[in-house]
Structure 1
Amino acid sequence: MNRTFADRVGRVEPSATLAISNAAAELEADGVDVVDLSVGEPDFPTPENVVAAGKQALDDDHTGYTPSSGIPELKRAVAEKFADDGLSYDTDQIIVTPGGKQGLFETFMTLLDDDDEVVLLDPAWVSYEAMAKLAGADISRVDLTPHEFQLEPALEQLAATVTDDTTMLVVNSPSNPSGAVFSDAALEGVRDIAVDHDVTVVSDEIYQRIAYDEEPTSLGSLDGMANRTVTLNGFSKAYSMTGWRLGYVGMPGSMAEQAGKIHGHSVSCAVNFVQHAGVEALKNTDEPVVEMREAFRERRDMLLDLFADHGKEVPHPDGAFYMMLPVDEDDTAWCEGAIEEAHVATVPGSAFGTPGYARLSYAASEERLREGVARLAEHGYL
C-alpha cells in the first residue's frame, strides 16, 4: 500500500537524546554494562511525600477527567509559585499540561504560522527546533559557543538577529544542554530587544530550582516583560517526577484561552491524581529539592576536576545537571565511538546546534561518573 505522509513530519528528525538513550538500552539488553550519561532525568526517587499524595489521590478516587486547564488547587499553587518569582499570572492564564514539553508544544502551535521567525540561542534543546518546524516557522540562531555559552557577551549579535519580523525568541536558563545560567544583565538585554521589536519571549524555566550559586531571575518579572513573556515550568526536574508527566505554562493576556483549544483537542487534561501530587510538591517539598541540588553540585565539581586532570577545560555549568565536553570536530562520530568502544553514552553537541561538543548528564552516581571518565580516558576519548 502506498502511503503519503504529511509534509510536517518530514521537516523533523527523531529526538537525538532519545535515540542515544535507546541505543544504550539496546546494548544493556544484550548484557553490556553502559555508563549512560545521556539521560535528562534526575537519578533520585520522587520525594516520599509526593508519592504518598499521589497514592492518596488514587484512594480518594481522583481518577476521572479534570477541568481541561487543571484542577483549581494546583492552578492556585502554581499562581502562588509564579508570584514568588515576581510573575503575575492569574489562574485563567495558566494551563497545567502532561509534561513541560506539551506546554511548549501548545505555545509554539498557538503563536507560530508558516514562515514566522523563531530565534534560538545555541546550544538549544533539541525539541525547540522540531516544534518550530512542525509549526512551519523559520529559525534563526545566535551562537553562544564563543562565549562559553553565556548570553551577555552575545547581546550585540542577538540585537542584530532579532528584527521587527521576528515572532518568537526562546530563552532557556538554566540551560539544557550547557548548564549556563544567564545573568540579570543578559536578561535585561533580552528585555530591551524584545520590547524594541515587539517580540514574544518563551522563557523555559524547567531547571529553575537546580542552580548552584545564584537563584535565576524569571524573565517575565522584568519591567516591560509581563505582557510578552510565556513562562514554562514543571515538576520533572526539580522534583524528580519525569514519568509523572506534569508541567505548567503561564501565558499573558488571553493567550491561554487560545492555547487551551489545542490543549483540549489533543490531551484533554493532565492526569487527575498526578495533579494532586503536584500540589504537594509545590507546597511541601523544599528539603528534598535542596538535597538533590547539592548532590548535583558535588558531582559537577568532581567531574570538572576529573576532566582537568586529563587536560580538558570544560565550560563551567552553573545550573541544571549537564555539561558540554569539548570533543572532536565530528562530534557525532566521537559519541558513536564512545558508546561502541568505551560503552559510555553521551549526546552529540550538533544535536543542540553546537558541533564539536558532547553533552554529558551528571544525573548518575559519583561511582558511575568516575567509571565513565575512566573508560573515556582508557579508550582515547579524552
Structure 2
Amino acid sequence: MDRLGTESAFEVLAKAKQLEAQGRNIIHLEIGQPDFPTPINIIEAAYKAMKDGHTGYCPSAGVPEFREVVAHHITETRGISVHPDEVTVTPGAKPIIFFTILALIDDGDEVIYPEPGFPVYESVIDFIGGKAVPLPLREEVDFRFRLEDLVDSISDRTKLLILNSPQNPTGGTLTPEDLKAIAELAQKHNFYVLTDEVYSRILYEGKHHSVINLPGMKERTILIEGHSKTYAMTGWRLGYGIAPQEIADKITQLTINSNSCTATFTQIAGIEALTGQQTSVTEMVDEFQKRRDAIVGGLNAIEGVSCIKPLGAFYVFPNVTQLPLSCEALADYLMNEADIALLPGTSFGKYGDGYLRLSYANSLENIQEALGRMETAIMKL
C-alpha cells in the first residue's frame, strides 16, 4: 500500500470544506467535474429503469444493449469497426486504467506515461510493480511531448504507453502527426497503447483524433471513454474500455473479482445519453469555451503569471515561475489568503513544478471573482 498514491484534488477539496465550515467563502477551482446538472432525459431514463426493475446484477462486461450502443458510438466517432464483445463497462473510467495495467504489466515492465498527468497513472504503475517512466509534456510545444523525448523513453522493457488527449491537467491535445509517430513506434517496439479519451467531446478547436484508428493500432490499443465529463455524470460512475478481445476478457475477469458489475439502471441511462439529444453537450462546451477565454485572459493580465490557451478539457495550467513562491507554497497562500482552492502543478508530477492547475468548471462570475482575488493576493508578495 505504500506504493499507492492519491489524488490531491480530493485532499484540497476536504481542506476547502473545512474552511467553509468556519464561514470562509471558498471559490472551488480544484475539482475536475462539470458544474452542470445531468441532462433531464438521462435522469428520467434511469428513473424509469429503476421503476421497471432494472436494479439487480447484470453481466460483468456490461448490459448487452449498452455495449452495442457503445460499439456503434466508437465505430462512428473513431472510424473503426468495434464489436460489442470488445467493450467492457466499468463503474467510471478509472477501473479500465487499473485493470489494463494489472492485465498487461509484470514486475519490472516499463510503462511510459504523460507528465504532468493524471496522478492515477503513476500510482497504479508503482502499485503493480511496474517501472513508471514519465514522458515530459512541455509548454513550449503546447503541453505535448517532443518526439525525441518519447524515443529516449523507450527500452526493450517498454510494455505500455499511456496517452491522454485532451489532457488533464494542461488541456493540451495531441496532433495527427504525434499519433502517427506513436503508432510507428508502438509497432516497431511492440508495445501497447492505453489512450485515455474521456475529454474527447470537450474540444474547442478542430476535431478529436485517436491513435486507435491508425493502421495496425486497433489490435494493440485500449481506449478509455466514459460519461462523467461529457454528460455531467461524475457521480453516476459509468465508463468503458475498448480493447482487443483477449484483453477485454481479462478486464471482465478482473471486474468479476472486484466490483462484479456496473449498475444496470446507470447503463440504461447511458444508452439514453449516447442516443438522445446532444444539445446539452454543445451548450456545456460553448459555456466552457467562454470561461476558458475569460480565465486565460485574466491570468495573463496578472504580473508574473502566463498562461497558454488550452484546446480541450476544462483546465488551465498557468506558469508561475516568475513569482517568489514555489507552486506548492503559492497554492497554499491563495487558499489561506484569497480563499481560492486550486492545485499546485506538482500534484501531477515533477514536470508540473512551476505551474498551477485551475479548473474552470465553475460559473463565469466565480471565475472573475477568483481572478480578482488572485491578482490582489499576488500583488502583496
TM-score by length of 1: 0.95
3-state secondary structure, aligned to 2:32: coil
Indicate the residue corresponding to 1:275 in structure 2. 267
Indicate the residue corresponding to 1:333 in structure 2. 329
CA distance in 1, matches of 2:179, 2:300: 31
Is 2:50 aligned against 1:58?
yes
Q: Once the 2 structures are TM-superposed, how far is the Cα of residue 68 of structure 1 from its aligned partner? A: 0.6
Is 2:281 aligned against 1:289?
yes
CA distance in 1, matches of 2:260, 2:308: 42
* Structure 2: stretches of 5+ with no match in the other structure: none
Indicate the residue corresponding to 2:131 in structure 1. 138
Is 2:58 aligned against 1:42?
no
Aligned residue type for 2:357: R
Indicate the residue corresponding to 1:321 in structure 2. 314
| Aligned CA distance change for structure 1 residues 55 and 40 (closer, same or farther; 3 Å) | same
Is 2:24 aligned against 1:32?
yes
Which residue, out of 259, 262, 277, partners 2:254?
A: 262
Aligned residue type for 2:331: C
Aligned residue type for 1:86: G
Contact 1:148 1:315 in 2 (8 A): no
Q: Indicate the larger mover: 239-248 or 161-170.
A: 161-170
Which residue, out of 338, 354, 357, partners 2:355?
A: 357
Matches within 5 A, 1:160-171: 160-171=152-163
Which residue, out of 87, 99, 120, partners 2:113?
A: 120
3-state secondary structure, aligned to 1:266: coil
Q: Once the 2 structures are TM-superposed, how far is the Cα of residue 341 of structure 1 from its aligned partner? A: 1.0
CA distance in 2, matches of 1:374, 1:174: 28
Q: Once the 2 structures are TM-superposed, how far is the Cα of residue 87 of structure 1 from its aligned partner? A: 3.0
CA distance in 1, matches of 2:319, 2:159: 33
Aligned residue type for 1:368: N
Indicate the residue corresponding to 1:366 in structure 2. 364
- Tell me the alpha carbon deviations over residues 112-158 of structure 1, each in whole angstroms, 9 at most, x when there is no partner: 11111010121111111111111111111121224344436x01210
Indicate the residue corresponding to 1:90 in structure 2. 83
Q: Once the 2 structures are TM-superposed, how far is the Cα of residue 95 of structure 1 from its aligned partner? A: 0.7
| Aligned CA distance change for structure 1 residues 322 and 203 (closer, same or farther; 3 Å) | same
Indicate the residue corresponding to 2:122 in structure 1. 129
Contact 2:138 2:144 in 1 (8 A): no
Aligned residue type for 1:37: L
CA distance in 2, matches of 1:114, 1:149: 34
Aligned residue type for 1:220: I
Q: Once the 2 structures are TM-superposed, how far is the Cα of residue 226 of structure 1 from its aligned partner? A: 0.8
| Aligned CA distance change for structure 1 residues 285 and 218 (closer, same or farther; 3 Å) | farther
Misfit runs of 4+, over 4 Å? none
CA distance in 2, matches of 1:146, 1:32: 34
Contact 1:87 1:218 in 2 (8 A): no
Contact 1:181 1:211 in 2 (8 A): no
Q: Once the 2 structures are TM-superposed, how far is the Cα of residue 89 of structure 1 from its aligned partner? A: 2.7
CA distance in 1, matches of 2:266, 2:43: 9
Is 2:11 aligned against 1:19?
yes
- Tell me the alpha carbon deviations over residues 304-359 of structure 1, each in whole angstroms, 9 at most, x when there is no partner: 11122224320220000001011246211111111111110111111112111110
Contact 1:150 1:180 in 2 (8 A): yes
Q: Indicate the larger mover: 160-169 or 321-330.
A: 321-330
RMSD of the alignment, in Å?
1.4
Identity of aligned residues (%): 36
Indicate the residue corresponding to 1:175 in structure 2. 167
| Aligned CA distance change for structure 1 residues 332 and 178 (closer, same or farther; 3 Å) | same
- Tell me the alpha carbon deviations over residues 18-47 of structure 1, each in whole angstroms, 9 at most, x when there is no partner: 111111111112221101100110000000
CA distance in 1, matches of 2:251, 2:169: 27
Q: Once the 2 structures are TM-superposed, how far is the Cα of residue 293 of structure 1 from its aligned partner? A: 0.4
Is 2:223 aligned against 1:237?
no
Is 2:301 aligned against 1:309?
yes
- Tell me the alpha carbon deviations over residues 247-280 of structure 1, each in whole angstroms, 9 at most, x when there is no partner: 0001113111112111111000001111100000
3-state secondary structure, aligned to 2:173: coil
CA distance in 2, matches of 1:266, 1:149: 39
Matches within 5 A, 1:194-273: 194-273=186-265
CA distance in 2, matches of 1:146, 1:181: 12
Q: Once the 2 structures are TM-superposed, how far is the Cα of residue 79 of structure 1 from its aligned partner? A: 0.1
Indicate the residue corresponding to 1:345 in structure 2. 341
* Structure 1: stretches of 5+ with no match in the other structure: 1-8
Q: Indicate the larger mover: 206-215 or 308-317.
A: 308-317
Aligned residue type for 1:330: S
- Tell me the alpha carbon deviations over residues 73-130 of structure 1, each in whole angstroms, 9 at most, x when there is no partner: 1000000011011133311111100001112111111111111101012111111111
Contact 1:317 1:323 in 2 (8 A): yes
Which residue, out of 167, 178, 183, partners 1:186?
A: 178
Indicate the residue corresponding to 1:5 in structure 2. none
3-state secondary structure, aligned to 2:35: coil
Aligned residue type for 1:50: I
